[in-house]
Structure 1
Amino acid sequence: MTIVIMFHLSRYRTFKDYYHRQVLRSYRSYFPHLVSYNRFVELMQACSVPLALFMSRHKVKQSQGVAFIDSTALAVCANPRIYQHQVFAGRAQRGKTSTGWFFGFKLHLIINHQGEIISFCLTTGNTDDRKPVELLTKNLWGRLFADKGYISHSLKERLKDKGVDLITKLRKNMEQPFRPLFDQLMLRKRALIESVNDFLKNTCQIQHTRHRSKNNWLVNLLSGLVAYSFLPQKPKLKFTQQQAKLIA
């Protein structure tokens, strides 16, 4: 687990280079029984369940009154290769985001104002963003800011009964209700969760299209999330935890 997590904190772009150039050369004193790269790739599949438990029990943070929700696409292959793709055939699905079509899965995230992950889940690419919201907000309270894709009167009412105030941007043809200045400002700060998604993809490398195993794809995703949770500096908004509780 330690080796696969540290890969996402390294500067290597491929796990093979990382294992050969960093692990085998520099980490042998910490791991005296290192195996070959091919054998390690076979063994790392067993890390998926421990990584999921570690992330959910130890690294997921608590709600602090202000949270942001969004989903991001996790493509498993390039679009021209969809019909030839075999690894996730029958599991991955086509989906569409603001940037276009993709074939794969969606990662749904809720973060607090400090950029820490509160909850997450994985769905197929064709899943409506609103479908997993109630599952994700199981232990949430306070304000939850989202984009237009989460607009739903029935969902808003169900969340309100649980103590969660879902606040979304509005479409142009919708009536503009009165909103407190704080809510307006926080809607403009939704770029925070987009920055987190971008960081997870480009720095922690939770997405690439070279996987040859479903289990290793999952290990790469979970270890990337765990690695992100260890970062001392994350994208965040500058107000204190006490202020967040008072505002909510």
Structure 2
Amino acid sequence: MEPIVSRLDLTALFCDVDDFCQTFEWAWAHQPQLPSMPGEKRSRSRLRLSEVMTIVIAFHASGARTFKDFYTLTVLPHWRKAFPNLVSYTRFVELMPWCLMLLCCFLMTRRGEMTGIAFVDSTPIEVCHPARAHSHKVFKHQVGWGKSSTGWKFGFKLHLIINEHGELLAFKLTPANTDDRAPVAEMTEGIFGKLFGDRGYISQKLFEELYERGLKLITKRKRNMKQKLVTLMDKILLRKRSLIESVNDQLKNICQIEHSRHRSYWNFLVNLMAGLIAYTYQPKLPSLDLQPKGLPALPPAIF
């Protein structure tokens, strides 16, 4: 069988990850540490954490349906020159949770630029088929039932904020029964300008809280609400809110952040973080071609 080729530049990815890990380890070593016990030995794997992170991220850009096929059919037989200290598939799965904290920190360095325009949305992350929810044990007491436009889902909910270039600005994982508006205040710390969302984010209290911090929440109006004067550009951007839905689609269908084969809570988080990082390395992200700077402002419109 032919190897599965990753869409990422493996060398560039490893350099970024390894440079980050070296900086992180240096900073960690210079922090106050608990005293070691006499004779204590710290075991080390022959495969470095930066190599584990690189392989996990590369999987999410490979198009392979399962990590086991990717590792056994591509990594082990064809990547030994790049990773001479490869371990077995079983051992590699045991090492994956150890890189979770580094993946989270590395993802923070891959966030996009604050441009003054942001879009917010949420998408369900199913952990099993709804018919098997009653017998699900891996994420017991950590997930919930949530209803989306496509029906009831059992699992988590991923909340995302992106800019008009499709770059990730903030994210948060909650049970599926969490209100979309609940994590917005925390997620928007440090974000300014305008935030566009659907009708599920309508809240006077949330609007006032964000407005005091310099962030204006703009949503579509319900039928029973009065019309409001908004600029034509804001009206156009509301119609372009589907950009974030394209990002959610790519995260699920290209980066594969959702599947029902998880047997460990920690590896589920590793899978999610690596998928988000792989998305940031895509050569072309979904984006909007907005009005060039320097043109006169558009007149207000009734909406």
- 1:221 is the counterpart of 2:272: yes
Of 66, 71, 74 in structure 2, the residue corresponding to residue 14 of structure 1 is: 66
Of 242, 260, 278 in structure 2, the residue corresponding to residue 209 of structure 1 is: 260
2:77 alignment counterpart: 25
2:45 alignment counterpart: none
Of 143, 152, 166 in structure 2, the residue corresponding to residue 101 of structure 1 is: 152
Amino acid at match of 1:176: Q
1:64 alignment counterpart: 115
- Say which SS state the counterpart of residue 230 (structure 2) adopts: coil
Amino acid at match of 2:101: V
What is the distance in 1 between the residues matched to 2:292 and 2:86? 43
How many residues of Structure 1 are paired with residues of Structure 2 in the alignment? Answer: 244
- 1:116 is the counterpart of 2:167: yes
- Say which SS state the counterpart of residue 179 (structure 1) adopts: strand
TM-score of the pair, normalised by structure 1: 0.95
2:92 alignment counterpart: 40
Superposed CA RMSD in Å reads 1.4
What is the distance in 2 between the residues matched to 1:203 and 1:241? 31
TM-score of the pair, normalised by structure 2: 0.78
What is the distance in 1 between the residues matched to 2:196 and 2:63? 33
Identity, % of aligned positions: 52
Structure 1 runs, 4 residues or longer, greater than 4 Å off: 240-243
- 1:134 is the counterpart of 2:181: no
Counterparts of 1:149-228 in structure 2, within 5 Å, are: 149-228=200-279
Amino acid at match of 1:200: L
Stretches of structure 2 lacking an aligned partner (at least 5 in a row): 1-52, 299-303
Amino acid at match of 2:86: L
1:189-238 per-position Cα deviation (integer Å, ceiling 9, x unaligned): 01100000000000000000111110111000000000001112000001
Q: Which has the higher contact order (CA 8 A, sep 6+)?
A: 1
2:176 alignment counterpart: 125
What is the distance in 2 between the residues matched to 1:213 and 1:79? 19
Q: Is the 8 A contact 1:72 1:197 kept in 2?
A: yes
Stretches of structure 1 lacking an aligned partner (at least 5 in a row): none
